[in-house]
Structure 1
């Protein structure tokens, strides 16, 4: 049965808002047509099925596509309220690690918090999430069904850190954390694995000024962070983050760069030439205090 839905406004995202909009759905909920109600109501499929095979309803609101959260860390949902705001970035990471390491929680607690967050996202109109985590139990999260009975779609990527590829790869599809926390061999290996597995290669990139300083000069708060934790930095390329990843050959149309707050106009032009997808996280940027991305520059590039 086809369903014709009418609303005062249709916001298709790919085009301007439409007053008195309509959407036509088939019996599987797939959109057959969207636009001015008068045009959608004249769709050939309605004549083909006839009135008995179609339903009509009006909503007092806005029709728009379901939302996609293209970057989330559901395994960290249990930390809400336990790690305060404010940077700089390495200091905030240390506070997060302190809570995780000194006050670990069992997988059941992590799963319950993540499932609550998934339910909240579903209620807010989110239909799909790209979830990043490095805890094996996070890969088994099962999104609960929403009020309509439909489940939120979730793609989980196992996030890797360090200098080298793991001797035994995780069962879930993999990705890399960031250029300051992953060595070049791990970055290129994870990129190839993501291509082989047919999933996006998602990576935190140019999130903070401290990241840029560390990758270009090997100094600053991130250098102190590695020293305090007794770690050897996996990479110090002497380049800014975006130029470094481009040199490694991991920037292309299947790469998803997350944050991209500290990028020059040349950086943004390079990302555009490579066909890279950029995901912005304004809430996270405000919370940690890393700055604002150049959205106008991204659109112009």
Structure 2
């Protein structure tokens, strides 16, 4: 069995990523053990860092076709109705969109991101396009967004779940129907929340009644709302770089 021994490294381990100086032993592609302290045998890492790979829980990789065009623009100018993002996607040939997204996936692996969760617009078509260019490195977890209410089941057959932009524009009945179908199939439901404005209590109630697996942004949630998410065990994915670039505020 092939053994790789990386010695004299600073190893970040455990859920808290606690630093340990020692040797990391890998056998047949699996971590076998961590030996603490200075070890002479193996490849000398000279106190370089070894850490788990990243997981990016909120991406829109197809937007890569025009990401430079978003600089200096407000959130509503980019993702609002008739925003720059949707104009760019509509005007760009599919081949160009695919190349840009594939390059972003390559960049993820090169910079240490092993998996990502993508909020993919454009219904079944959008899900299938990303699925076709995803090679498994990084692992692509694709949350589709139905283009109309009758497409939910078809999107769920193609995707790993549903990712909604917010609860805006949906009736209570529609939100309940989407959530019920996702949970019935044992798939993932996630939503954007309070990205550019505070959420009223009734909006927060709609979100919680859907029982999402996780939420993204939460930039303008109150301390009480954040405490409520923590109490219910619902993870919140912060997006400080996106918020900063688009002027949405700071979480």
TM-score, normalising length: structure 2: 0.82
Distance 1:173-1:10 versus aligned 2 partners, 3 A rule: closer
Deviation at 1:83, TM superposition (A): 2.6
C-alpha distance in 2 between matches for 1:99 and 1:10: 40
Aligned to 2:45: 59
SS of corresponding position for 1:82: helix
1:219 maps to none
**Are the equivalent residues in 1 in contact too, given 2:172–2:206 (CA < 8 A)?**
no
Q: Of 220, 224, 229, which residue of structure 2 is paired with 1:262?
A: 220
Q: Distance in 2 between matches of 1:198 and 1:58?
A: 45
Using the alignment, how far apart are the partners of 1:19 and 1:6 within structure 2? Answer: 12
Q: Aligned-pair distance for 1:37?
A: 4.3
Residue of structure 1 equivalent to 2:16: 15
SS at match of 1:203: strand
- Counting only pairs closer than 5 Å after superposition, residues 219-258 of structure 1 correspond to structure 2 as 239=201, 241-246=203-208, 249-251=209-211, 255-258=213-216
What are the ranges of 5 or more consecutive residues in structure 2 without an aligned counterpart? none
Report what 1:31 is aligned to: 31
Match of 1:166 in 2: 151
Alignment of 1:174-189 (within 5 A): 174-175=161-162, 176-189=164-177
- Counterpart of 1:154? 140
Provide structure 1 residue ranges, at least 5 long, that are not aligned to the other structure: 42-54, 146-150, 217-238, 294-301
Distance 2:227 2:147 in 1: 28
Deviations 1:24-46 (Å, cap 9, x if unpaired)? 2231x2223336246xx8xxxxx
Aligned-pair CA distance for 1:194:
2.9
Distance 1:110 1:125, change over 3 A: same
The answer (yes or no) to whether the contact 1:208–1:262 under 8 Å persists in 2 is: yes
Q: Normalising by the residue count of structure 1, what TM-score does the alignment of the two structures yield?
A: 0.70
Aligned counterpart, 1:139: 130
Residue 228 of structure 1: aligned partner: none
User: Residues 169-219 of structure 1, C-alpha deviation per residue, up to 9 Å, x if partnerless?
Assistant: 22223312211243333322332333234333121011111x63xxx4xxx
Task: Give me the CA root mean square deviation.
Answer: 2.7
Structure 2: distance between partners of 1:190 and 1:94: 23
1:161 CA drift (Å): 5.9
Aligned-partner Cα distance in 2 for 1:35–1:201? 40
- C-alpha change, 1:13 and 1:70, in structure 2 (3 Å) is farther
Query: Which protein is richer in strand relative to its size?
Result: 2
Distance in 2 of aligned mates of 1:283 and 1:161: 28
Are the equivalent residues in 2 in contact too, given 1:206–1:242 (CA < 8 A)? no
Q: Distance in 1 between matches of 2:178 and 2:32?
A: 38
User: Across the two proteins, how many residue pairs are aligned to each other?
Assistant: 240
Q: How far apart in 1 are the matches of 2:172 and 2:35?
A: 48
Cα distance in 2 for partners of 1:161, 1:37 equals 56
Contact 1:161–1:182 (CA under 8 A) maintained in structure 2: no
